[in-house]
Copies of this chain bind each other. A is one copy, B any other.
Amino acid sequence: MSRWLAYHGDSIYLDELIYQPEHSLIQQSVESNKKRTIRVNGDGFGLGWYSHRALPGYYHDILPAWGDENLRSLAHHISSHRFMAHIRHSTGSQVSRVNCHPFVLDNWMFLHNGHIGGFDQVKFTLVRQLTEELFLKRVGTTDSELIFLMMIKNGLRVDPIAAINQTLYEIEQAMEDKSITEPLTTSLCISDGEQFWVVRYSSDHQPPPVFLQRSSNKTIIASEPLDYSDSWQKIPRQTITHIVNNHCTQYDLIID
């Protein structure tokens, strides 16, 4: 499982969330969990942040995050009011920069934990559903980037809730056509620079957890709480959470 976080609020230096918390993303990159054998999140990492420039900035690299001196320096010097960070645990695709999250397209940013069950059996079908324009934007080989491009195709720019539902539906359909029993699992975070949409969905109703911490001047969304306080709410499964300014609305996912 990959690990990620997203932030919106007063402008802060990125290391305030990535390095400093008790249970920071960097700490998570090197930890094992309670299961006996677990791959760590050492298959690359990425940052994406909104700034005063028209389009968001990003930094992707293939080294484990824990040892990257550049990441330490950049996170210490880049400040942002809205950013995402992701440490990757590959579910099969190559370890390369183009496969690192968050994916950025124009003003949109997207990150993902989980995977499409039996991806190799539906990849051909799903990629072919992309328009030519979106097909050409695909630079990597992950299911994650493909989910992002499918959402754009399905109208993410116009009606995000519908586009997310439609995309998960199309993936489930393609999987059903191939009688795939391994589930589609997703925790997703999407932003257009102004809003967040957070998705927690799995075919088997066991999606990866996502936690939310809110206060008057900031919102933090993360795959695991960044500290051991009780200020973290778990986002309900099978929902889309829409966060704009400090306002938060939850929608049930209706896939079938």
* B53 pairs with A74, CB closer than 8 A: no
Give CA–CA (A63, B97) in the complex, Å: 12
* A67 pairs with B53, CB closer than 8 A: no
* B78 pairs with A77, CB closer than 8 A: yes
* B97 pairs with A94, CB closer than 8 A: yes
CB < 8 Å neighbour of A59 from B37, B38, B74, B139: B74
* A74 pairs with B76, CB closer than 8 A: no
Residue A242 lies at the interface, judged by CB distance under 8 Å to chain B: no
Which residue of chain B has its CB nearest to the CB of A125?
B132
Q: Which residues of B contact A39 (CB under 8 A)?
A: 30, 66
Min distance, Cβ A118 to any Cβ of chain B, angstroms? 12
Q: Which residues of B contact A61 (CB under 8 A)?
A: 70
Give CA–CA (A145, B23) in the complex, Å: 33
Residue A225 lies at the interface, judged by CB distance under 8 Å to chain B: no
Q: Which residues of B contact A153 (CB under 8 A)?
A: none
Interface size class of A (residues with CB under 8 A): 35 or more
Most buried by B among A32, A35, A58, A59: A32
Number of copies: 4
Min distance, Cβ A121 to any Cβ of chain B, angstroms? 9
Give chain A interface residues in 40-89, CB to chain B under 8 Å: 40, 42-43, 49, 51, 53, 57-64, 66-70, 73-74, 76-78
* A77 pairs with B53, CB closer than 8 A: yes
* B42 pairs with A32, CB closer than 8 A: no
Give CA–CA (A35, B223) in the complex, Å: 23
State the 6 A-B residue pairs at the shortest beta-carbon distance, nearest first: A32-B32, A57-B77, A124-B132, A67-B95, A42-B42, A96-B96
Beyond A70-B97, A78-B78, A123-B136: 17 further Cβ-contacts under 8 Å? A32-B35, A32-B40, A49-B77, A57-B76, A57-B77, A58-B70, A58-B73, A59-B70, A59-B74, A67-B90, A67-B95, A68-B95, A69-B94, A94-B98, A96-B98, A124-B132, A139-B141
| A–B complex contacts, Cβ < 8 Å, 30 sampled | A30-B39, A32-B33, A32-B35, A32-B36, A39-B66, A40-B40, A42-B42, A42-B66, A42-B67, A43-B67, A49-B77, A53-B76, A57-B73, A58-B70, A58-B73, A59-B74, A62-B63, A67-B90, A69-B97, A74-B74, A77-B78, A94-B97, A96-B98, A98-B141, A120-B136, A123-B135, A123-B136, A124-B135, A124-B136, A139-B141
